[in-house]
Structure 1
Amino acid sequence: MQIDEIKVSESDSENLMMREKLLEIPEMSRNEESLQRQIKKFNVTD
């Protein structure tokens, strides 16, 4: 039972950790957004 529960909540916990990191370091999220925009532009021109 415990193993199954861990498997199910593993991805959710990872998402929460990522969100916490982004909240702790707002600059990181801004940089990530700009990176994603650059990647989108690159993909469009490519």
Structure 2
Amino acid sequence: MRKPRKKSFADLVNENKQALMMDAEAINAIEERIESRLEIKRMDKAE
């Protein structure tokens, strides 16, 4: 049986970059939700 070909360093770097970009998008979405909730709470207190 042959060993599967190891991934090149560049392939691993690209995979990590893609994973980080996906994480960054998720974090940004969470931050936007938190900010909008804080704004709603501030508006409720102002009334």
The structure where helix makes up a greater share of residues is 1
State the TM-score bracket (shorter-chain normalisation).
0.3 to 0.5
Pick the structure with greater CA Rg: 2
**TM score, norm. by length of structure 1:** 0.47
Structure with bigger RCO (C-alpha 8 Å, 6+ apart)? 1
Q: TM-score, normalised by structure 2?
A: 0.46
